[in-house]
């Protein structure tokens, strides 16, 4: 409960300075080890296979599991619709996306039509750029992969 409260209060103070706390995530950190995409990425990595596409799918699934609202072109959407939109958009631009960081920067950060940033709306009404939470998620995923186990 305390962690959830912090996630709702902290964004305002940090967003004003252009920084989002590193622990602001789409879903609880302990869900990483339960996520089938995490295990899939580990298996791919152990086999020496490509993992950037798997990291992107993982990020999309983290969005899908989120309780936050997403704002695209000034319209709010539930997380499932945001994930579907990003999957569709990634499908269109897949050939030009080499890494999960490319995905965040070129696909998941703003509307190609309007140029407006995608935002996350917290239950308290605060809004922060989607890309900042995605970067947090990716940083934790990559650290977990380096250790070959979920972070606690």
Give 92-113 pLDDT, tens digit per residue: 988 899 999 999 999 999 999 9
Q: From CA 63, how far away is CA 107, in angstroms rounded? A: 14
How far is residue 122 from each of residues 8, 23, 26, 71, 97, measured CA to CA in Å?
6, 14, 10, 11, 29
Model confidence, pTM: 0.78
- 78 token code pair: 């539930």
**For 70-85, what is the mean pLDDT?**
96
What angle separates helix 79-93 from helix 52-64, to the nearest 10 degrees? 160
User: 15 or 96: which carries more pLDDT confidence?
Assistant: 96
Provide, rounded to the nearest whole percent, the portion of the chain with pLDDT above 90. Answer: 50
**Tens digits of per-residue pLDDT, 126-142?**
999 999 999 999 998 88
**Is residue 55 scored above 60 in pLDDT?**
yes
For 74-83, the CB contacts below 8 A with 24+ separation are 74/116, 76/121, 79/26, 82/118, 82/130
């Amino acid at each position: 409960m305390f962690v959830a409260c912090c996630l709702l209060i902290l964004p305002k103070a940090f967003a004003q300075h252009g920084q989002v706390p590193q622990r602001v995530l789409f879903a609880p950190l302990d869900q990483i080890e339960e996520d089938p995409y995490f295990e899939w990425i580990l298996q791919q990595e152990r086999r020496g296979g490509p993992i950037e596409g798997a990291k992107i799918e993982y990020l999309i699934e983290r969005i899908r599991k989120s309780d936050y609202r997403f704002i695209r072109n000034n319209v709010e959407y539930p997380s499932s619709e945001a994930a579907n939109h990003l999957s569709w958009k990634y499908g269109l631009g897949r050939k030009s996306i080499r890494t999960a960081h490319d995905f965040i920067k070129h696909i998941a950060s703003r509307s190609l039509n309007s140029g407006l940033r995608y935002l996350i709306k917290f239950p308290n009404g605060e809004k922060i750029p989607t890309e900042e939470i995605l970067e947090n998620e990716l940083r934790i995923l990559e650290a977990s992969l380096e250790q070959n186990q979920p972070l606690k």
